[in-house]
Amino acid sequence: MDFGELMSIFIGVILVNNFVLSRFLGLCPYIGVSRDTSSAAGMGMAVIFVMTMASAATWFVYNYMLLPNENNVLYLLFRKMIPGITPESFDLSYLETIAFILVIAGLVQLVEMFIAKFSPALYRALGIYLPLITTNCAVLGVAQLNIAFSGQPFSLLKCVVQGAGAGVGFMIAMLLLSGIRERLELADVPPSLKGVPIAFICAGLMSLAFFGFMGLKI
């Protein structure tokens, strides 16, 4: 495996194609939970965790259940029962949206139960953010990007690296914005721009700053 390529995916998805600032994914938690730094950090950690897991899980589902190939689980299962069946009979790739959202929803539930059982301290820190993540479009977005933006199918390792990088990029953007918003509390902002509108304007300026990474070549 080419380490340099993995590195360029990782850095690229953090700085060049930041999920929040240039792809507009996951804006609801980005604006909703960035009022103070500690909750931004908690949400960021939860997102990194779920995105990495979801990238791996959706990779397995897509490659072994939805795509028509020799390793398709359904094909292997029914091969004996129905004679003359080919892998092409199991082309379920049109079900990807339904399959992915169910996998992610199930995964978030599982992660939540697992953390609650094994690490109550971590659960107290991340617990309230986990259910919110099911409807975070960044998680479904990374699963879709893993399959959509690759000429040939992404390998499992690349998907996981892209998922983790997207999570890290999300957390960085969120921490930066929460720092700015904590200062904004004390600033003299025009009354009708207070709160969310000024947060969006700051996000716009941050996005402009992230443009500087556009020509980055690794």
Contact 37, 175 (CB under 8 A): yes
Nearer to other proteins among residue 4 and residue 190 (C-beta): 190
Q: Supply 191's token pair.
A: 């009354």
Could you say which DSSP state residue 40 is in?
A: H
Left (φ > 0), alpha (ψ -120 to 50) or beta: where does 72 sit?
beta
Report, in Å, the least distance between residue 1 CB and other proteins: 26
Nearer to other proteins among residue 4 and residue 212 (C-beta): 212
Within 8 A by CB and 6+ apart from 126, the residues are 42, 45, 46, 49, 115
Report, in Å, the least distance between residue 70 CB and other proteins: 26
Nearer to other proteins among residue 71 and residue 97 (C-beta): 97
**181: Cα separation from own chain's centroid:** 24
Nearer to other proteins among residue 96 and residue 112 (C-beta): 96
Report, in Å, the least distance between residue 211 CB and other proteins: 7
Contact 53, 105 (CB under 8 A): no
Give the Cα separation of 171 and 174 in Å (integer): 5
**Cα dihedral across residues 96, 99, 102, 106: positive or negative:** negative
Nearer to other proteins among residue 140 and residue 159 (C-beta): 140
- Binding residues for other proteins, rule: CB under 8 A, are 21-28, 31, 94-98, 101-102, 105, 134-137, 140-141, 144-145, 148, 190-193, 196-201, 203-205, 207-208, 211
Report, in Å, the least distance between residue 101 CB and other proteins: 5
Report, in Å, the least distance between residue 90 CB and other proteins: 17
